[in-house]
Amino acid sequence: MQKNRTGTLRRATAAFSLILSLAVLAPFAPKAHAESAVPQSAAQIKLSFAPIVKEAAPAVVNVYARRVVAQRQVSPFFNDPFFRRFFGDQGGFGAPRQRVERSLGSGVIISADGIIITNHHVIKDADEVRVALSDRREFDCDIVLDDERTDLAVLKIKDGTGDFPHLKFGDSDKLEVGDIVLAIGNPFGVGQTVTQGIVSAVARTHVGVSDYQFFIQTDASINPGNSGGALVDMSGNLVGINSAIYSRSGGSNGIGFAIPVNMVKLIAEAAKHGGKVRRPWIGASMQAVTADIAEGMGLDRPRGVLVTRIAKGSPAAKAGLKVGDLVLAVDGTQVEDPNAFGYRLATKKLGGKAELDVMSDGREHMLSIALEAAPETVPRDTREIGGRSPFTGATVENLSPAVAEELSLPSDEEGVVVKTVAPGSPAERVGLQAGDIIASVNQEAVKSTRGLASIAGTEPYVWRVEVSRDGRTLRFAVRG
């Protein structure tokens, strides 16, 4: 009996000592936030993303794109120089055969009548597009809009019920690094899959998969086949379209990129109004601020974008923006490089205004710039060059701010620009590319497509061509 009482007393003393120690140390202990508290009940332990997935997953579809490609068969003897000598470049070919190419991706239904957002690269050059819903129903689709510059496309389900599950748009500008997100798609064609992660960054601008370099980065697992799928927030709203991954192996390395939904909204709106994307244009070119530029301007760090060119008569010129000005923010949102600046403008609606925070001559002030569509100051006069010249197979247009905006060229460029180059054509063989500005041929300035067509009809002994590409001047000579 005495032994039991002694044990009880010792336990009581130890308990009292522990309570006293906790009371003494309590003021010095870090206070835990409610969000990081341990579960306090069985119900909390069972917390799950399942309710969000049940609402969002039915609106995510598998996208199957199909295209037919003509392919000529080549006799194995054609590789022998002896046969090539007698039959030339055209010998040894059999009759053309058709080959079917298929691509697989994902898409997101954004309205009850069956409007779907996916990636441009998922349905590129497709002859047929079909989607499969999570309930295993399948439908053919029409391509309503296909915008390569944003890598987005809009589909419309044919012969649907008109009552499809769909996701609501969120606001990608309200996302913060550390927010939890879910990625839903069809990786590797295994079937609909949901992965969870956080927002790793909100303004990645050097990804290189579209003209508008501004992406949400997430560590939610994204793999081939996820392209065009949904990135949703904890309210079940669509905040991005999964588009690309950074990978050396082809699989997920925890670095995935999604197009912000605020860009998606504009493409969806354009699809409702004729299927043509019209973007704001202010007529100014920008460059990033380096450490040396920042030091020369007396800045504490590199920030903003530097104005390098202003088109005559443009909204930027009318507003008073000048070469050498530093643009720090657009409508109160800071911009750190030209891609971020371009994204902020591209997500604005035409007809409105943008408020720019500008530093000029060391003083900071606000400028209000009208958001207008780029004008077509000269007729395009689109022509495909034929005949026997280095330009045969190239489709060219007269440059104007509208054409320059479409091709992501400086808006004050003039002359003739290459729009497309036919595969296997003489133009491709000499190295011409879309976006090249043809400056002169045999020292004769090229000022219009009509002029280039006239020059291409001549037969000089040597073609000496001068081309402007990405701000560089290239020269080459081709024997006639």
Please spell the DSSP secondary structure of 298-364, one letter per residue.
Answer: T-SS--SEEEEEE-TTSHHHHHT--TT-EEEEETTEE--SHHHHHHHHHTSPTTSEEEEEEEETTEE
Q: How far apart are CA 53 and CA 43, in angstroms?
A: 19
Q: How far apart are CA 355 and CA 332, in angstroms?
A: 8
Which residues have C-beta within 8 Å of that of residue 9, sequence separation ≥ 6?
A: none
| Structure token digits, residue 153 | 């496309």
Q: How far apart are CA 226 and CA 118, in angstroms?
A: 10
Q: Rounded to the nearest 5°, which phi and psi values hold at 63? A: -115, 125
Active site residue 360: no
Q: What would the 3-class secondary structure string for 167-222 be?
A: CCECCHHHCCCCCEEEEEECHHHCCCEEEEEEEEEEEECCCCCCCCCCEEEECCCC
Active site residue 121: yes
Q: Beta-carbon neighbour count of residue 398 at 10 Å?
A: 23
Q: In DSSP terms, which residues pair with 101 in a beta bridge?
A: 67
- Which class for 366: exposed (0-12), middle (13-18), buried (19 or more C-beta within 10 A)? exposed
Give the active site residue among 103, 227, 252, 400.
Answer: 227
| Degrees to nearest 5, angle at CA 143 with 142 and 144 | 105
Give the active site residue among 121, 146, 221, 243.
Answer: 121
Q: How far apart are CA 70 and CA 122, in angstroms?
A: 20
Give the active site residue among 103, 106, 146, 151.
Answer: 151
Active site residue 227: yes
> Contact 468/437 with Cβ under 8 angstroms?
yes
> Contact 328/357 with Cβ under 8 angstroms?
yes
> Contact 252/245 with Cβ under 8 angstroms?
yes
| Structure token digits, residue 5 | 């009482």
Residues designated as active site: 121, 151, 227
